[in-house]
Structure 1
Amino acid sequence: MLKLSGVLPALITPFSPAGDIDFAALDRHLRSLRAAGVAGWVPCGSSGEYNLMSDDERDSVLQFVKDFARPDELLIAGTNAPSTAGVIANTLRAKAMGYHAVLLAVPFYTKPSQAEIVQHFTKVIDATDTNIVLYSYPGKDGVEIGYEALDALADNPRIIGIKESSGVLQRAIGISTRYAGRIQLVSGSDDIAWDFMQWGADSWICGPANCMAKPVCEMDAAFRRGDHARAREIMQMLWPAMNVLESGKFVQKLKYGCELQGNPVGTCRMPFGLLTDEEKAEFAATMQPVLNWN
């Protein structure tokens, strides 16, 4: 089984003032994240506004990140689509580029049953023979990848992990214990990432890493060397900013956080709206410990 390990930023996609993908800004962004110590790359997920890009744009981002990556950096492509056929097509293109795995939520807008979830992922695996990291985010997708579906998928060698973004710690505990050695638990609830680590999550697909990569990577490193108290201290420092992120306009705040770091990446595409001055001030205040990080 492909080992999932370390901080894997759920990458934002920079846009120019004209609304085009800004590859110069993306290159600068990737270099700053690498310097902070990330373990790999997860482009074209929800933090990357994949659903607001054309297939050609998505492919261009995936190819750019693939070309930038070093051989020892893990590559996980977001290849979601509204239909199973679309997921298969996206996944085959990512596989041909050289991605090690894909990150897949349930097809959006459909709210499939547990049986339909199993059928969907099985069909994708049969058609692509690609490693899949499941992505359970019921708050956004309207349906959880429940134990019924996970029980049916757990012994498929291509189902290698699950990014758990319910925000419910009991789910992380349940996955960690119920599927030990079969499905890797991936931290996807950023404000309780330390708790996920305690329950066996060895990787963190992390949106906030876009604008707070140094402390996030240092927290991960502290936990790995057994300094759980230091990891918890860093989590406590990060929590206010992560809590504000989770309160709404998540992607807009990620991009504003990059701007605060001196790394402008543009604004989001519509229908995402701009942050108000009050929202900017609230997030900037909680980001001060991150901005002062040495």
Structure 2
Amino acid sequence: MQQLKGIMPALVTPFDKNGAVDYDTLGSLVEFQLKQGVTGLVPLGSTGESYALTNDERRQVMATVREVAGNRAMLIAGANGSCTREVIEQVRQARDSGYRNVLVAPPYYAIPTQEELTGHYQAILDAVPDVNVVLYNYPIRTNVEVGYSVLDALQDHDRVIAIKESAGNLLRAIEIGDKYKGKIQLSCGSDDQALDFFLWGATSWICAPANFLAPQIVSFYNKYTSGDLAGAQQIVRSMFPLMNNLESGKFIQKVKYGCELAGFKVGVARMPLLPLTDDEKTEFRKEFEKLLG
């Protein structure tokens, strides 16, 4: 089974002042992440605004990340849509772009039952037999949970390798880590619970804040894996105020503003998302500067 380990930034998609995808900045961001010691890269997720990109843009984003990263990191492409047919097309597109791992959430808007969701994932696995699937549980965005009946049905499939758990429910993460150990790997998708996730069996963190906090977050992971739990806890504690600001709303816009503060001109989010207000920027910048000391 392909192993998910370490810090895997859920990459933003940079836009220039005219709103076009800025592939040069994306390449620079990827290179920066790799130099900080990340172990994987995840383009076209929620933070990457995949829903707001054209297919041509998605292909070029994947190509840019793959070209810059080479074999230096595990690559997982978001592949999502509103129906099974569309998701299969996105998975095939990822495969044709050289990706062997995809991150797949439940279809939005359709609100499938658990039985239908199981069928959805099985259809993807059958249609594209040379790609591994990382399940993505993010019910606040999809209004559907990847429930235990779905995990039960897929736990023995050798290409269902992990779940990014973003429900914000630590008890559920603990149960997944215990019940499906050795079958479905647990990846942290709740940024403010990362230490707890690792303590309860997660081996990776697919992490949006790593776009602009890669040094701190990689340091946290290195301290944790070396057995320095106090050091890891101290880093997490120092990040809590900023994480709390991120989770209070306008998450994507704040991650992109964080990138700007870190020196990467990634632009603003595409509509319908609106830019941060001056007051929102001031509050975020205050927490960012406090963290950096």
Normalising by the residue count of structure 1, what TM-score does the alignment of the two structures yield? 0.97
Name the amino acid aligned to 1:211: F
Whole-Å Cα distance in 2 between the matches of residues 260 and 72 of structure 1? 26
Task: Tell me the alpha carbon deviations over residues 167-216 of structure 1, each in whole angstroms, 9 at most, x when there is no partner.
Answer: 11001101001101000000000001000000111111000001111100
Residue 231 of structure 2 is aligned to residue 230 of structure 1: yes
**What is the letter of the counterpart of residue 82 of structure 1?**
S
Write the mapping of 1:10-89 to structure 2, written as runs, cut at 5 A.
10-89=10-89
Query: CA offsets, 1:108-136, max 9 Å, x none?
Result: 11111100110000000000011000000
How far apart, CA to CA, are the structure 2 residues paired with 1:89 and 1:262? 35
Shift of 1:81: 1.1
The 1-side partners of 2:291 and 2:18 are apart by 30
Q: Unpaired runs of 5+ in structure 2? A: none
Q: Using the alignment, how far apart are the partners of 1:273 and 1:93 within structure 2?
A: 29
What corresponds to 1:221 in structure 2? Answer: 222
For the residue of structure 1 that corresponds to 2:7, the secondary structure is strand
- What SS is found at the alignment partner of 2:205? strand
Following superposition, which runs of at least 4 residues in structure 1 exceed 2 angstroms of deviation?
A: 289-292
5 Å-filtered alignment, 1:246-265, equals 246-265=247-266
CA-to-partner distance for each residue in 1:41-98, whole Å, 9 max, x for gaps? 1000010000001111111101111111131410000011111111111111211222
User: 2:40 and 2:165 mapped to 1: Cα distance?
Assistant: 18
Q: Does the CA contact (< 8 Å) of 1:74 and 1:100 recur in 2? A: no
Return the alpha-carbon distance in structure 2 between the equivalents of residues 110 and 247 of structure 1.
27
Task: Tell me the distance in 1 between the aligned counterparts of 2:77 and 2:33.
Answer: 17
**Which residue number corresponds to residue 183 of structure 1?**
184
Q: Which residue of 2 aligns with 1:154?
A: 155
Aligned residues: 292
Is 1:136 aligned to residue 137 of structure 2? Answer: yes
Paired letter, 1:61: V
Q: Note if contact 2:31-2:68 (Cα within 8 Å) is conserved in structure 1.
A: no
Amino acid at match of 2:106: V
How far apart are the structure 1 equivalents of 2:240 and 2:94? 34
User: Residue 209 of structure 2 corresponds to which residue in structure 1?
Assistant: 208
Equivalent runs, 1:192-207 vs 2, <5 Å: 192-207=193-208
The residue number in structure 1 matching 2:122 is: 122
SS at 1:46 equivalent: coil
- Identity, % of aligned pairs? 46
SS at match of 1:287: helix
Name the counterpart of 1:112: 112
Provide the C-alpha distance between the structure 1 equivalents of 2:37 and 2:186, rounded to a whole number of angstroms: 21
- Indicate the SS of the match to 2:47: helix
